[in-house]
Amino acid sequence: MFGNIYNTTWFGTPQSEGFGSEYYNLGNMLYNGDFLNSANPAIDWNVQAGWVIQLNNANVNHGATTAITQNLPDVLINETYEIRGTVFNYTQGTLQTQFGGQVISSVSGNEDFKHTVVAAASAPTLYLYAISTPQFSVRNLTVRKVVS
C-alpha 140: how far from chain center: 8
Domains of the chain from N-terminus onward: 29-147 (2.60.120.260)
Question: Which pLDDT score, from 0 to 100, does residue 23 have?
Answer: 47
Over residues 95-113, the pLDDT tens digits come to 999 998 899 999 999 999 9
Q: Is 68 helix (H, G, I), strand (E, B) or coil?
A: strand
CB 147 within 8 A of CB 78: no
Q: pLDDT band at 26, cuts 50/70/90?
A: low
First to last CA, the chain: 18
User: What's the pLDDT band for 30 if we cut at 50, 70, 90?
Assistant: very high
pLDDT at residue 5 above 70? no
For 11, phi and psi rounded to 5 degrees? Answer: 60, 35
